[in-house]
Amino acid sequence: METDVVMVDRETSDTGRMLRDIRREVELTRRMIGREQLSLRVMTAIERVPRHAFVAPEMERYAYDNGPLPIGYGQTISQPYIVALMTDLAEIESGFRVLEVGTGSGYQAAILAELAAEVYTVEIIPALERRSNEVLESLGYKNIHARVADGYFGWPEQAPFDAILVTAAAPRIPPPLVEQLRPGGRLVIPVGDFFYGQDLMLLEKNSRGEVKSTAVLAVAFVPLTGDR
């Protein structure tokens, strides 16, 4: 999907600065992430989505800084570099159906919607789900489907998914998400404990349903919440 967002000069300048910061982070971490640059499709999606629309008015001045920002309820909007990296690792194609666990502000869902055919996003906090829906609808996204639920269990009614992104850290990889990933699909998820360390993990499922996991980068995410 392509949004009809027209940015003023200040926002265009801020977006350019954010893109430069992302490229700089990629250069600094290239040996760890195994890539010299992120795909043009991902960087174009990052450029198109107005990040300031997903933060509170008092945070707008920081919206394009390369760092996370609070969005309430103990949650954050992730660092732009991490959003870009996770999206790139998922290798999303235009016809993909993608699951996001942890809608939060809605920013990652918007990035995914620029790349995929359909995005299914799950948020456990009702107030965040309502707020993100309002923002996404105001920006004209029609291919994002959201609901309030415990993301540990994914969205089985809409499975299988070509890619799954989890935007909060789990102590271990939830088996329901692996089950809902189609053969040939990719799951990107931070795994570990906030105090003892987390790794951004990439899981790849082959045509026989076998899963290969790779630790990509040390990260720090808020924990995945829910009964499990």
pLDDT of residue 12: 54
Q: Please, what's the b/e burial string for 41-57 (b: 16 or more CB within 10 A of its CB; e: otherwise)?
A: bbbebbebbbbbbbbee
What burial class does residue 134 get, using C-beta atoms within 10 Å of its C-beta: 0-12 exposed, 13-18 middle, 19+ buried? exposed
pLDDT of residue 19: 97
- pLDDT tens readout for residues 118-131: 999 999 999 999 99
- Least confident residue range of 6-20, 72-86, 184-198: 6-20
Answer yes or no: are the C-beta atoms of 218 and 199 closer than 8 Å.
Answer: yes
Q: Which residues contact 64 (CB under 8 A, 6 or more apart)?
A: 11, 14, 15, 17, 18, 51, 52, 80
Q: pLDDT-derived band of residue 193, with 50, 70 and 90 as boundaries?
A: confident
**What are the backbone angles phi and psi of residue 150, rounded to the nearest 5°?**
-80, 110
Answer yes or no: are the C-beta atoms of 224 and 150 closer than 8 Å.
Answer: no
Question: Which among 13, 78, 207, 213 is annotated as catalytic?
Answer: 78
Q: Walk me through the domains of the chain, giving residue ranges and CATH numbers.
A: 9-219 (3.40.50.150)
- pLDDT tens readout for residues 168-187: 888 899 999 999 999 999 99
The CA distance from 210 to 184, in Å, is 10
The verdict on pTM exceeding 0.75 is: yes
Residue 78 annotated among the catalytic residues of the structure: yes
- pLDDT tens readout for residues 46-105: 999 999 999 999 999 999 999 999 999 999 999 999 999 999 999 999 999 999 999 999
**3-state DSSP assignment of residue 166:** strand
Mean pLDDT of the region 189-217: 89
